[in-house]
Structure 1
Amino acid sequence: MVLFDLDGQLIWHDPAEPAMEAMLAQVVEALGVTGFNPHTGRSLYRLARSAGLTELTVRVEPNHLIVGRVNERERARWALKLDVARPAITHAVGSAEQAGRAIETFMRFLENEDSLTYSVSFTVTGRVPLATTTAAAAANTDTMDR
């Protein structure tokens, strides 16, 4: 079985500009009611163990890493991401006007030669124990016979 998720999305930035950090905190909090958690990736190993998976391996790799001024291709990708997220940002900050300012603030941050932003991806692989696999298959066969 393969589990994959991000860690640090929307939260790891330097220098941490207070206005941008406050806006991102509002957005992350608002997205929390939808199930968004910026730290899900780091939980995958524990969740895999609690699900009974065996032979676990964990890989952590950069998901995005922008050091200094963002290049045009990555800038366009972030502009698209933020445009898709605009309704959630609007809800989080209270108005379309404030959302526009928040997006502009983040895009300005990406233009800063001194900035660094990143997130990582976690991939956890493991095996479903044979007994569990056999029991699940038997239960499925039993259900299909009815």
Structure 2
Amino acid sequence: MKTDNAVTEKQARWAGLAPGMSVIDIGCGPGKTTSMLGELVQPGGRAVGVDLSEQRLAFARQHYGSSTVSFQQCDLYQPLTGLGQFDFAWCRFVLEYHLSNCFELVRNIAAALKPGGILCLIDLDHNCLSHFGHSPRMERAVAATIKSLEENDNFDPYVGRKLYSFLYDLGFQDIDVKVEAHHQIFGELKEVDEFNWTRKVEVAAKRSGYDFNEYQGGYDEFLDEFRAFFANPRRFTYTPIISCRGRKP
């Protein structure tokens, strides 16, 4: 539900993906994006999705595997050169989970590119933090939850603003950056936004380790308030998405 092929196509074409290229999809998950990237490099191209989760890869192989789209289990901190060299590397919504060693991960991905290959990094900034219409205690709880995820789970809510510097420091050329709205939620709540944000609260917030001491009823009371806030058409929520592309020297 969260993955929109039209958005993927727009972002990938902006970054320079073209027919005939070989593309590696970093942190491919269940494979929907890899499949879309595989379509965009036809005729003559190939797409390889890599992920650590064998469960997600099994789903990806079953639903999206083909003669031009394949999937491999990989530790992204280990060399990826065994998969060959690629014309294009796609890394979207991955780096936010690697706060302490993000640059090392990007450097490892860059090593899988051919000289002249394109690296496209896409991630969120001020992730989950930009709302209006909520109570002061909910604002404090959301900020404290994200801080707890930073300290305990290696989560980086501000990684989007760092992407340019990663490519710059690696000596990439022809770097370009685009800033847009990823979430822009107002008025009646759409099903996909309800699903996405309910899961964020049910999974990330609950497992963050934060005690929600602003609420007498703890996490459950916070969840009830968040759901009521989010269902209210007066609420406004947005999240910037930052896309950065560059060419390997």
2:203 aligned residue (62, 84, 101): 84
What is the total number of aligned residue pairs between the two structures?
127
Name the CA distance, whole Å, in 1 between partners of 2:235 and 2:132. 6
How far residue 99 of structure 1 moved from its aligned partner, in angstroms, is 1.5
Distance change (3 Å), C-alpha of 1:39 and 1:86: closer
1:109 equivalent to 2:229? Answer yes
Give the TM-score, by structure 1 length: 0.76
Distance change (3 Å), C-alpha of 1:19 and 1:109: same
Name the CA distance, whole Å, in 2 between partners of 1:70 and 1:47. 36
Map 1:22-101 onto structure 2 (within 5 A): 22-33=140-151, 34-89=153-208, 91-93=209-211, 97-101=217-221
Of the structure 1 ranges 72-81 and 1-10, higher mean CA displacement relative to structure 2 is found in 72-81
Amino acid at match of 1:24: V
Q: Name structure 2 gaps, 5 residues minimum.
A: 1-118
The one of the two structures with greater contact order (alpha-carbon pairs below 8 A, sep at least 6) is: 1
Q: Name structure 1 gaps, 5 residues minimum.
A: 130-146
Distance change (3 Å), C-alpha of 1:56 and 1:65: same
Equivalent residues of 1:58, 1:122 under 8 A apart: yes
Give the TM-score, by structure 2 length: 0.47
Distance change (3 Å), C-alpha of 1:7 and 1:93: same
Deviations for 1:33-70, whole angstroms, at most 9, x for unmatched residues?
22212211011112221121111011222211111342
Equivalent residues of 1:65, 1:116 under 8 A apart: yes
Identity %: 28
Distance change (3 Å), C-alpha of 1:113 and 1:87: closer
Superposition CA RMSD, Å? 1.9
1:13 equivalent to 2:131? Answer yes
Amino acid at match of 2:120: V
Amino acid at match of 1:128: K
